[in-house]
Chains A and B, each alone.
Chain A
Amino acid sequence: MDVTTILILLLVGAIATYFSGDKLASKVALFFSVATLGVSLYLLNEFSKGETINYLGEWMEYPKVYLALQADGLSMLMVLLTTALTPIIIFSSLGNTYSNAKSFYALVLFMSFAMTGTFLAVDGLLYYIFWELALIPIYFIALIWGNGDADKRKKAVVKFFIYTLAGSLFMLVAFAYLYQKTNNFLLGDFFNLRLSATEQFWIFAAFFLAYAIKIPLIPFHTWQAKVYQKAPTVGTMLLSGIMLKMGLYSVIRWQIQIAPQAAKTLMPYLIGLSIAGVIYGSIIALRQKDLKKLLAYSSLAHVGLIAAGCYTLTLDGLNGAVYQMIAHGFVIVGLFFVAEIIHRRYETREISAMGGIRSQSPKFTSLFMILVLASVALPGTYNFVGEFTVLYSLSQVNIWFAVFGGTTIILGAYYMLKMFQNVMLGETNTKVFASITTNEIITLVIIIAFLLFFGLYPKPITDLVNPAIKDILIHINR
């Protein structure tokens, strides 16, 4: 068994979901996503035993494209993130009913398929194909099942699509350029290229555009908040939980490895930009009136920090970035689910229309509180491990980076607590807040359990990622 099983399973799942009909769709999708999680856990086991689970097959002769799927610790972790979050996301959506559910869940699984592929591919074009493929389902999910005014939604979603596509097309040019030097797209062969500084710069820039838009870094983030707001929550979760990580993962896997010299030269500016994003996102989140938008900007701040970690090019920075990716993936999914839970009951995302929920639903409040605390990286949650490692690595580069990056500790607490206060606390709300269902509790508890467990005992993840990152660093410092 190798990693293709995951992909095939997801693809088959998508097709099966489509043909299972609207009523069964969610269950079939859930079944397949759980099965995929099982398979990927099994593969993790194989992987940790040292078995090879990579796959290398021929695909195209011209252009020379291999079906090269390789799982090192990093990829494996990202795949697990995807396959773990997908069932959670699907499970969380069981409380909603969607028109044309079969297409909806098929698209969700298909997106999961594409994202998994992105994390596994080590052939440039294959990777690019997966990368783009992931965009199409989310486009439709946001477009068709999104909320809010249709015209505005369209505008936001189309902007998102074109914008991200625009970025990635430049990446394609970079790949084309590399291709005509190596005559294939294998990552390994790209390493062996002796690219001049100028070449590296331009290739780095092309990749950067793609990733900066996807991650997003300021000032390329303008698509984010609106799409998060307009997309259905499942879409938002997929976007924020996994898809953003595609960009960050790619930075580590492709950008800094192919053009390390450029990365080193540009490092201060990149970190500076990322940290500016942290501060900008945090500040703008302070006064958001829409819950999902606020979470979107908090996401912007967090990914900024992760990106800063990636661009430090140090072991700690990369490790921390990966930890933080995982942590952020879980916590943001949880938070968006919280927004959804409230929306199910209050039919609103306006923060001002909420408040006073705590006295009605203490359980929900506690779970939400823990997520908020995880989001502000309270020690004991996995987010802290990530944030600490990243900030530490930043401090090793330049202490000021850590100081400014560290403002997220303060500002993050500020806007998250403010949000929590306005959403949950205060005089009991006149609107009845129906008590939280078991499904909802299960979803949140799984997420929280994950975050707390690895917050105290991050060693398994560390052991998985560390060797992979060390390999990557060897390439960077070649």
Chain B
Amino acid sequence: MSAILIIFYVLAAITLSTAFLTIYSKNPIHSAIYLVICFFSIAGHYLLFNAQFLAIVHIIVYSGAIMILFLFTIMLMNLNKEDEVHKPRITRLGAIVVFCVLSAVLITIFINSKTIVGDYDTTGEDFQSIKKLGKILLNEYMVPFEFASVLLLVAMIGTVLLSKKEKTNK
């Protein structure tokens, strides 16, 4: 068992458990913090893949931007109290059952499927350096890249639209 495998397992364990705790913990702030940890562990996975740039971006976007947004909102709504009402027992039970079934089904399918044996391709070529990514992003993926800006623009306008107070008389 190589070190990398051990690291993988550890990271995987952290990812799954923090993800689970995110959902399970009653305090939204705790949830948020677990989620941050989860994101970091995922960044760890990215590093394992040697995708440093992605890992950095991931941390910046998720842990930096999105989680801050979450935390900010939680603070805004003053949700740190443990006034959390759980769903009825039947619903929770249902959720658990559905979870078990869904994961069991998917995993069964993937196990049953043709296992990939043999070596994985290693061309040795660079495929994930910043340079390479940049080239792809701005050549082949230029259109979606620009289009994503439209997406962000829409989100921006939308957020403004939803929060902007109207002048009642024009």
Direct contact of A and B (CB under 8 A): no
B-side residues, CB < 8 A to A, are: none
